[in-house]
Amino acid sequence: MGTIAWLQLRQVLGEKKIFLIALFLALPALLSLAYSPPAVLAGESEKTISAAIFLFLLYPQTTCLLLALLYGSSILNTEVEGKTLTYLFSRPIAKWKVFTAKYAAIAGCLVVPTLGSFLVSWAIVGAPGGARFLLGFALSITGAIAIYTAVFSVIAVFFRKRPMIVGLIYGIIEFILSFIPALVSTMTATYFLRSIVARVLDLELPTDLLRLVGAASLATSVLALAALIAAAVALAGWAITQEEFASADNA
Amino acid sequence: MPIFDVGYRHWEGKLRGPALRLWSISRNGISLAWRSMILRRIILFGWMPLLYFAPVFFAIGYITDPEREISQRYDSGWYNFARGIMGPGVADRLRDAPESVRPAAWSLAFHYFFSWPQAIFTMLVVAIVGPALISQDVRSKAFLLYFSKPITLGEYVAGKAGTLLFFIALMTLFPAIVLYAVSIAFSPSAAALIQTSGTLVHILCVFLVMAVPSTLIVLCFSSMAKEPRYPQFGWIALCLFGEMAYGLLSNMSGVASSNWICCLSLRKTVSVLTESIFDVSNQVSALGVSPSIQRTLRDLDSPYSPQLCVIWLAAVSAFCLMVLVRRISAPIRL
Amino acid sequence: MNLIETRNLTKLYGAVIGVNDATLDVPKGVRGLLGPNGAGKSTFLKLVTGQLKPTEGRLTVLGERPWNNPELFRRVGFCPEQDAFYGFLTGFEFVKTLARLSGFDPAEAARRSEASLARVGATEYMHRKIGTYSRGMRQRTKVAQSLVHDPEFLILDEPLSGTDPIGRREMTDLIRSLGKEGRSILVSSHVLHEVQAVTEEFLLMYGGRVLASGNVHEIRGLMNEVPHRITIRCREGRALAHHLMRVLPIAGIEMNDGQGTFSVLTHDPGSFYAGLPAVVAEAGAKITEMVSQDDNLDAVFRYLVTRD
């Protein structure tokens, strides 16, 4: 599996488009230059909350989701279209291991530069909240990349023709559902990602706002995300063993 | 017995003119794209907002009908209710001259129709159809096939653009025309046709504002890659990231009231122009809408300049066209 | 144990038949898989290599089912037809990566990769990126990756496609030498003489069906109802033909041209050849050329395909 992960890393890092991805990661930092908390928020904790909202919407909600969409939705499709998947599936290594190794490589590859970009943005907005802020967002960003890459990878296995579109529709629906103040919001990954930030920052919010932002405990959120990721990877791994990836070309 | 010539028959017809060549390219693109089940479903869903807006227009027609009793029934209860909700200006007009409310109400409805549901569905349709239009030709070297025929660069670009314009029209222009027809049908009299005669022109203008920049942007992205997933991602990122950036900067930045912020979001830029084309802001203000309603209709109270939006869209379109032509005219670079 | 065993093996792509009710046993050895484009060869190979799941029927390779059975690939090496690679890797890295996937540690994988690439004659350029390779170089690298783990059964899908005549000759020699080492090889091709240069045992596919399996001579011998065709060029063509008709077991004679070339059709080529010298001597003719056009793959293929 390590070999597959290494191969995937080389594939991602060896692409010319990596410069465009680096440019894409610079955009949030550029946007952060224009950040300024609303004038009505005078206190330090309120400013921290404002910065947390700004950076959460910018990173876990948008940047992480988009990067995961690009790479997660093409986790196998690149190999299928490039017809190199045959080499991986004609070796004594189970198909689900191939998928898992590729997923781990992609998720790991995305986390590091995204955290770097976040660090720059955090510094630009005034480094609010200190180490706790960094920890909360590090967890949330890592979780966001892990869960969204897993979800979009599952989508890519089941919707091989238009995975990015289906993933986009999923992302829009999940975003909307996460703001509905009802049980349905607790079934979204976004809810737990917000909860992580809220718990680590120890935000004091009114009850109704807390329910909207994320009322789950830190442990619950981390476990829920881990369970979702494991379930998504297991589902995709199982589906891959049932799928045929050779086409009717040259039959 | 006569012997029939069953060999090769030379064609003796007339060659069609160049105008129809680009239609061949578009038609081919349309039929290829149409095979996508997801696209067909999104188009189907994209017409669903008509189910919501049609009753709205019916309600407007019903309320603004001077023959209806409801418009005469503005006794103190109804009148105070209308004043409280909409403001004294609108309530007075509904009582005294209900038909005068119609243009503003229609403009507002069409503005929202284009700005939200159709904008989202158009984004999805463009994301499905656009990215592969040129990138697949690059990948499969179909350039060699196209340009071994008497097709000019402009015809090729126009043909490809025609494919995308068709689907964007399917999501914007055609449903809007149907909605307009439904609105006329639900109006109390044919006088509505005269009163809203400019609406079709406005609809066409909004279609062009939505379609032309989107088409050029996506074709530009498509010409820069061999795999459709990168232009697709570029388009999705442009829309989503731009929308998020606009939302954040308009609420949480020192430049919240700046004129240029709306340019970050393609949807918002088009929305500003849609508002300007339908002249929503002036029409609604002239009705005497209450401040609370105006705050709700926040889009209408924005500092954004339609002129800046036009210049921005034109500049982006021109830039994308330039890049597109440069990429296509040098296949060796691809 | 047979190399491949199938019982009513069928593969459907929707309404399109890829492989149609194939029942056969393929013993160990070097075999060619022949058929025109669209015959079902690649589908059959994809079934054998576990890339596709049979729609109906049963298939075993080396006694095991290939679908979802990655362990089988310790004993099977596959060289696919597609010209697809990880262009950012060098040939050596590519083969070594796949060797690692076969379970070898880095040092052993490197050693085996070098040996495998040397075997196919790719040592000179193995440290260049594959993206810079010519078609023939890529083909050799593909064969190298299929050999690196020393499989007992090698499947080569169109291994000679895209190679120049020298490369084709070298590849043919390589395949023959691999066969002599005791490996079982299945070589797929739509070019009959390429396969004939490697082996005389073949599977013939057409329209998704396996039409024949075995030695080309045995198959030809079984085609009794079709007379053998022997073309003779001789200055005294008409006279010799007249003599042959009188004496030897001949089903018919076709005069091909006015220059003395004619074709003899006979159901008993053995007796014909035995009696021919005497007839030629009696007729005082001088034969300048004689070709038996039937006892080769082209003829067998044409017969089986048109008969079907």
For chain A, helix, strand, coil in percent to 5 are: 75, 0, 25
Would an 8 Å CB–CB cutoff place C269 in contact with chain A?
no
Query: Above 90 in pLDDT, residue C200?
Result: no
B143-185 tens-digit pLDDT: 778 888 888 888 899 999 999 999 999 999 999 999 999 888 8
Smallest CA–CA distance from A159 into chain B, residue: B38
Residues C167 and C156 in one domain: yes
The pTM assigned to this predicted structure is 0.84
Domain that holds residue C268: 224-294
* Range in A226-230, B322-326, C159-163 the model is least confident about: C159-163
Does C307 map to a domain? Answer: no
**Residue spans of alpha helices (H) in B64-198:** 69-72, 76-86, 88-96, 102-115, 117-129, 131-140, 143-146, 153-171, 173-185, 191-195
B208: three-class secondary structure by DSSP: helix
Subunits with 3+ Cβ pairs within 8 Å of B are: A
Q: Which of C221, C250, C279 is the last residue of a domain?
A: C221
List residues in chain A touching B: CB distance below 8 A. 17, 20, 24, 27, 31, 34-38, 50, 53-54, 57-58, 61-63, 66, 69-70, 73-74, 77-78, 81, 159, 161-162, 164-166, 168-169, 172
Would an 8 Å CB–CB cutoff place B265 in contact with chain A?
no
Q: Please tell me the distance from the alpha carbon of residue C67 to that of residue B176, in angstroms, as a whole number.
A: 53
Query: Above 90 in pLDDT, residue A99?
Result: yes
Question: A 47-106 residues with CB below 8 A of C?
Answer: 82-84, 86-95
Q: What's the residue count for chain C? A: 308
Residues C74 and C168 in one domain: yes
Q: Please tell me the distance from the alpha carbon of residue B262 to that of residue B298, in angstroms, as a whole number.
A: 14
Q: What are phi and psi of C156, to 5 degrees?
A: -120, 115
Q: Please tell me the distance from the alpha carbon of residue C230 to that of residue C233, in angstroms, as a whole number.
A: 10
Q: Please tell me the distance from the alpha carbon of residue A52 to that of residue A198, in angstroms, as a whole number.
A: 9
DSSP A143-157: HHHHHHHHHHHHHHH
Q: Please tell me the distance from the alpha carbon of residue B159 to that of residue B153, in angstroms, as a whole number.
A: 10
Query: Above 70 in pLDDT, residue C223?
Result: no
Does C244 map to a domain? Answer: yes
Would an 8 Å CB–CB cutoff place C46 in contact with chain A?
yes
pLDDT bin (cut points 50, 70, 90) of residue B45 is very high
Q: Please state the three-class secondary structure of B132-155 as a single string.
A: HHHHHHHHHCCHHHHCCCCCCHHH
B124, B227, B241: residue with CB nearest A66? B241
A193: three-class secondary structure by DSSP: helix
Contact A164 B229 (CB under 8 A): yes
Pick left, alpha or beta for residue C127 (phi over 0 → left; psi -120 to 50 → alpha; otherwise beta): alpha
Smallest CA–CA distance from C13 into chain A, residue: A248
Chain B neighbors of A39, CB-CB under 8 A: none
Smallest CA–CA distance from A28 into chain B, residue: B245
> Closest approach of chain A CAs to the CA of B255, in angstroms?
7
Q: What are phi and psi of A162, to 5 degrees?
A: -135, 60
Would an 8 Å CB–CB cutoff place A11 in contact with chain C?
yes
At residue A208, the pLDDT reads 62
Contact A58 B251 (CB under 8 A): no
Would an 8 Å CB–CB cutoff place A226 in contact with chain C?
no
A63-77 tens-digit pLDDT: 999 999 999 998 988
Tokens of A8: 């995937």
Residues C175 and C194 in one domain: yes
Chain A neighbors of C70, CB-CB under 8 A: 89, 91-95
Does C268 map to a domain? Answer: yes
Smallest CA–CA distance from B124 into chain A, residue: A165
Q: Provide the CB-side half-sphere exposure for C177 (13 A, CA).
A: 9
For residue B309, how far is the Cα from the chain centroid?
15
Would an 8 Å CB–CB cutoff place B334 in contact with chain A?
no
Residues C195 and C273 in one domain: no
C81, C82, C88: residue with CB nearest A14? C88
Does C10 map to a domain? Answer: yes
Would an 8 Å CB–CB cutoff place B35 in contact with chain A?
no
Tokens of B68: 């209806």
Q: What is the ipTM of this complex?
A: 0.89
Q: Which of C206, C221, C236 is the last residue of a domain?
A: C221
A109-126 tens-digit pLDDT: 999 999 999 999 999 988
Does C306 map to a domain? Answer: no
Question: C 66-125 residues with CB below 8 A of A?
Answer: 68, 70-74, 76, 78, 80-82, 84-86, 88-89, 97-98, 100-103
CB-based contacts of B158, cutoff 8 Å, min separation 6? B22, B25
| Residue C9 belongs to domain with CATH number | 3.40.50.300
Tokens of C211: 């039409």
Contact C86 A89 (CB under 8 A): no
CB-based contacts of B16, cutoff 8 Å, min separation 6? none
Residues C186 and C140 in one domain: yes
Q: What is the mean pLDDT of residues B61-65?
A: 75
* Residue of A35, A125, A168, A175 best to disrupt the B interface, most CBs of B under 10 A: A168
CB atoms within 10 A of CB A127: 12
Query: Above 60 in pLDDT, residue A248?
Result: no
C93-110 tens-digit pLDDT: 999 999 999 999 999 999
Q: What is the mean pLDDT of residues B73-97?
A: 66
Chain A neighbors of B136, CB-CB under 8 A: none
| Residue C287 belongs to domain with CATH number | 3.30.70.100
Query: Above 60 in pLDDT, residue B71?
Result: no
CB atoms within 10 A of CB C19: 28
> Closest approach of chain A CAs to the CA of B146, in angstroms?
23
Does C187 map to a domain? Answer: yes
DSSP letter, residue C71: G
Q: Please tell me the distance from the alpha carbon of residue C263 to that of residue C289, in angstroms, as a whole number.
A: 11
A80: three-class secondary structure by DSSP: helix
Q: Which residues of A46-64 are buried (b: 16+ CB within 10 A; e: fewer)?
A: ebbbbbbbbbbbbbbbbbb
A140-155 tens-digit pLDDT: 999 999 999 999 999 9
Tokens of C283: 């007729």
Q: Please tell me the distance from the alpha carbon of residue A134 to that of residue B329, in angstroms, as a whole number.
A: 49
Chain A neighbors of B245, CB-CB under 8 A: 27, 31
Contact C84 A84 (CB under 8 A): yes
For residue B146, how far is the Cα from the chain centroid?
30
Q: Please tell me the distance from the alpha carbon of residue B143 to that of residue B279, in angstroms, as a whole number.
A: 45
Residues C230 and C208 in one domain: no
B128, B227, B241: residue with CB nearest A165? B128
CB atoms within 10 A of CB C165: 7
Chain C neighbors of A246, CB-CB under 8 A: 46, 51-52
* Range in A167-181, B90-104, B190-204, C61-75 the model is least confident about: B90-104
Residues C14 and C142 in one domain: yes
C260: three-class secondary structure by DSSP: coil
At residue B83, the pLDDT reads 67
Contact of chains A and C by CB distance (3 or more pairs under 8 angstroms): yes
Which of A99, A107, A51 has its CA nearest to residue A77?
A99
Contact C70 A93 (CB under 8 A): yes
Q: Please tell me the distance from the alpha carbon of residue B164 to that of residue B30, in angstroms, as a whole number.
A: 8
> Closest approach of chain A CAs to the CA of C200, in angstroms?
24
Distance set, CA A127 to CA A68, A130, B245, B280 (Å): 26, 6, 20, 43
Would an 8 Å CB–CB cutoff place A10 in contact with chain C?
yes
Residues C238 and C155 in one domain: no
DSSP B245-307: HHHHHTTSBTTTT-TTGGGG-HHHHHHHHHHHHTTHHHHHHHHT--HHHHHHSGGGG----HH
Does C64 map to a domain? Answer: yes
Chain C neighbors of A90, CB-CB under 8 A: 49-51, 73, 76, 78, 80
Contact B237 A24 (CB under 8 A): yes
* Range in A172-181, B297-306, C163-172, C193-202 the model is least confident about: B297-306
- Beta bridge partners, C59, equal C6
Q: Please tell me the distance from the alpha carbon of residue B104 to that of residue B193, in angstroms, as a whole number.
A: 14
Contact A164 B245 (CB under 8 A): no
CB B226 within 8 A of CB B138: yes
CB-based contacts of B183, cutoff 8 Å, min separation 6? B54, B57, B60, B61, B106, B192, B196
DSSP B297-332: SGGGG----HHHHHHHHHHHHHHHHHHHHHHHT-GG
Pick left, alpha or beta for residue A250 (phi over 0 → left; psi -120 to 50 → alpha; otherwise beta): left
Residues C24 and C9 in one domain: yes
The strands making up C30-34's β-sheet, listed across from edge to edge, are C76-79, C153-157, C184-189, C30-34, C201-206, C209-215
Does C301 map to a domain? Answer: no
Contact of chains B and A by CB distance (3 or more pairs under 8 angstroms): yes
Subunits with 3+ Cβ pairs within 8 Å of C are: A
Query: Above 70 in pLDDT, residue A211?
Result: no
Distance set, CA B24 to CA B18, B20, B128, B170, C304 (Å): 10, 6, 20, 19, 44
CB A116 within 8 A of CB C89: no
A7, A244, A245: residue with CB nearest C97? A7
The strands making up C252-255's β-sheet, listed across from edge to edge, are C252-255, C261-266, C228-234, C287-292
Total count of domains within chain C: 2
Contact B241 A70 (CB under 8 A): no
Residues C215 and C142 in one domain: yes
* Range in A105-109, B179-183, B251-255, B294-298 the model is least confident about: B294-298
B71: three-class secondary structure by DSSP: helix
* Residue of B244, B333, B334 best to disrupt the A interface, most CBs of A under 10 A: B244
Mean pLDDT of chain B: 85
Q: Where are the domains of chain B?
A: 19-66+85-333
pLDDT bin (cut points 50, 70, 90) of residue B41 is very high
